[in-house]
Structure 1
Amino acid sequence: MPWWFWVLLWIALIALSLLLHVTLGYRLFRNFMATVQELGAAGERFSNISPTPETSDVEAVSERPAPGSAIFASPGQMRHDYLTAKAFRQEVRRQKRVQRKAERGQPQSLHDIEFR
C-alpha cells in the first residue's frame, strides 16, 4: 500500500474520533442543561413549602420544651418526659400498624388489639 493511503486512513480515523467526541460532548452538555433546568424548577416548586411541619391534634396539644431546658431540669423530670414521649411514639406506630393491616385485610396481632 502506498504511503499516502496510510495518511488518509489516519486523517479519517482522527476526524471520526473528533466527530464522536464532539457529538458525545454536545449530548452531555444538553443533558447537563436539562438537569440544571429541572433543578431550578424543583427549587422554585419546593421554595413555597412552609418550613414548619404540619402537626396532628395530639402533637399540637403536647408542646415541646424550649431547647436547652434539659440542662436545668431534674433527672426525674427528664426520665418522665423521655418515657412519655417513647410511649407516645410506640402508640403512634401501633395505630399505624393496625390501620395498615386493616386496609390490607390482614389479621391483627394480639399485641396490637386494645383491651382497654
Structure 2
Amino acid sequence: MPWWFWVLLWIALIALSLLLHVTLGYRLFRKFMATVHDLGDAGKRFSNFAPGGETSDVEAPVNTAEPGSAIFASPEQMRHDYLTAKAFRQEVRRQKRVQRKAERGQPQSLHDIEFR
C-alpha cells in the first residue's frame, strides 16, 4: 500500500475521533444546562416556603429558650424543658398515627385512644 493511503487513513480516524468527542461534549453540555435549568426552577418553587420549617396542627410549646441559654440554666429547669418537649413530640406522633389509621380505616390502638 502506498504511503499516502496511511496518511489519509490516520487523518480520517483522527477526524472521526474528534467528531465523536465534540458530539459527546455537546450532549453532555445540553444535559448539564437542562439540569441547571431544572435546579433553578426548583429553587424558585421552594423559595416561596416560610423559613420557619414544618408547620403542624398542634401548637408548639410557647417558652422556647434562646440558643446557648442551657449553659446558665439549672439542671432542674433543663430536665423540665426536656421532658416537656419530649411529651410534646410524643403527642404529635400519636396524633399523626391516629389520623393515619383513621384515614386507612384501621382499628386504633388502645394506647392511642384518649381517655379524657
Shorter chain as denominator, the TM-score bin is: 0.7 to 0.9
Q: Which has the higher helix share?
A: 1
Residue number in structure 1 paired with 2:110: 110
* 1:69 Cα deviation after fit: 2.3
- The code of the aligned residue for 1:6 comes to W
CA distance in 1, matches of 2:113, 2:43: 44
Residue number in structure 2 paired with 1:81: 81
Residue number in structure 2 paired with 1:28: 28
CA distance in 1, matches of 2:70, 2:14: 71
* 1:56 Cα deviation after fit: 4.3
Structure 1 residue ranges (4+ consecutive) displaced by more than 6 angstroms after TM superposition: none
Q: State the aligned residue count.
A: 115
Aligned-residue CA RMSD (Å): 2.2
2:9 paired with 1:12: no
* 1:27 Cα deviation after fit: 1.1
**Identity of aligned pairs, percent?**
81
Higher relative contact order (CA 8 A, sep 6+): 2
Q: Unmatched 5+ residue regions in structure 2?
A: none
- Name whichever of 78-87 and 42-51 sits farther off: 42-51
